[in-house]
Structure 1
Amino acid sequence: MANASSKRIASANETALKNLELGLLIVNALSPVIRFLLSLITSRSFIPRKFVIFLHVIFVGASIVTWRWFRTIGTPSRPGSGQVRVGEDLGGKGVIELGWDLIYMTWICTLGSALLGDWVWWLSLLVPAFGAYKLFSTIRPILAMLLPGLFGPKQPRDPAQAQAGAGAGGNVQEQEGDKPESKRQAKLKARMERGDKRVQQKQVQVQRGQ
């Protein structure tokens, strides 16, 4: 069973690495072609702004580093014994998931800026924002232990007020439970005043039973 699971992860990792390498080649080759064609058709400049070039170099470089890291930890090995050894599952969570998000966002920004404009690179800010959120979610239990007043669970400020509120709620429920009885008594009293014979017969039966 363990070898079957390793083979499944190894096959998935090999497919993911092949698709990743193909995606890196296609995106980075297609982007300048699209920019060149649109520069001929429209008034858009073929060369993007310096800030966009800087972002492109940073994110593409980070994508290449992530790809090489994926190859290091995810490439399966097959010793002579026939067993398949896999370091990490490239479909896992945590840092691996964040690495895939970085690669996909780089591809979106690279092709999107070539098609729609350089403003698409503002979407790249989602990557560090998501990374900061994941980091905060990971270390929040530690922060709750160190600073329970800021990161711990919220509790009522005054326990006496909470108990008083609970008691008031119980009294309200009791009063609500008494309301149907009081209405019934009021109806019976009104019928007696009108001389309703059914009410008088019920009273006579009750007195005879006593």
Structure 2
Amino acid sequence: MANASTKRIAAANVKLLKALPKNFYMINVLAILVRIMKWKVYGRQLLPSGFVGFLHGLGFVASMFIWRWFVEIGTPTRNAKGDLRVPADLGSSGVVEMAWDVIHITWICTLGGALLGNWVWWLTALIPCFAAWKLFGVAKPFLGMFLPGMFGPKAPKEEAAPAVVGGAQPGESRKQAKLRARAEKGDRRVQSVRR
């Protein structure tokens, strides 16, 4: 029998795998319809060309490969005993999260490019920038070993001098300062100890 966590992951994976092709087709068909409408009404180009066309094709192909990969790693199966087996969680972080980012940025650029113009495809630059930022976070401790001046631990900051309250001497607590002040006034409650 599968535990509750496996069942929850399996249900979430099935839900995501059912929604993925629907959203994929809906976004692409809607983008094509918007491009056809703009072509008929405004006389703009029907398909993106040049570098933007290359990015569009690359994003489409990457999304298709990621979709197939998600189906491969996320489809729940049953083993010989009949127990539920989930190869991977499609909601996990790491490479799976980066793959979702590629799909979502591609969808945003596909629909945004059809609605707003081809300049939206420059958002695809966010994918390698985000990957470089994550990679730098992983590599920074290793760089600190070889380049300690740039990436190593910083020198500890000097602690600010504690606030001196009511004529207290440095390194003296408030209670000690009060007792010293009472003793100086000649209060009988304070017993001075001579050493």
TM, length-normalised to structure 2? 0.77
Amino acid corresponding to residue 87 of structure 1 in structure 2: P
Aligned match of 1:187: none
Instruction: Kindly report which structure 2 residues correspond to 1:130-149, keeping only aligned pairs within 5 A, or say none.
Output: 130-149=130-149
The equivalences for 1:11-160 within 5 A come to 11-155=11-155
The CA deviation at 1:153 is 2.1
**1:178 maps to 2:167:** yes
Unaligned runs of 5+ in 1: 180-205
* CA RMSD after TM alignment: 2.3
* Cα displacement string for residues 71-114 of structure 1 (whole angstroms, at most 9, x for unaligned residues): 11111102353311011100001111111011000000000000
Map of 1:200 onto structure 2 = none
SS at match of 2:3: helix
Structure 2 unaligned runs (5+)?
Answer: 169-185, 187-195
User: How many residues are paired up?
Assistant: 169
SS state of the match for residue 29, structure 2? helix
Q: In the aligned structure 1, how far is the partner of 2:143 from the partner of 2:93? A: 22
Decide which structure has the larger Cα Rg and report it.
1
Instruction: Please report how far the alpha carbon of residue 2 of structure 1 lies from its aligned counterpart in structure 2 after TM superposition.
Output: 5.4
Cα contact 2:76–2:86 (8 A) shared by 1: yes
State the distance in 2 between where 1:71 and 1:144 align.
40
Task: Tell me, in whole angstroms, the C-alpha distance in 1 between the residues paired with 2:77 and 2:2.
Answer: 15
Q: Give the aligned residue type for 2:27.
A: V
How much has 1:47 moved relative to structure 2? 2.6
Amino acid at match of 2:67: W
Q: Report Cα offsets for 1:129-185 as digits up to 9, x if no partner.
A: 1111111112222222333322122115xx9xx4xx75xx35xx44x6439xxxxxx
Q: Give 1 or 2: higher helix fraction.
A: 1
Runs ≥4 in structure 1, deviation > 6 angstroms?
none
Decide whether aligned partners of structure 1 residues 19 and 73 sit closer, same or farther in structure 2, where only a CA change above 3 A counts.
same
Identity %: 49
Q: With structure 1 as the length reference, what TM-score do the two structures score? A: 0.72
The corresponding residue for 1:182 is none
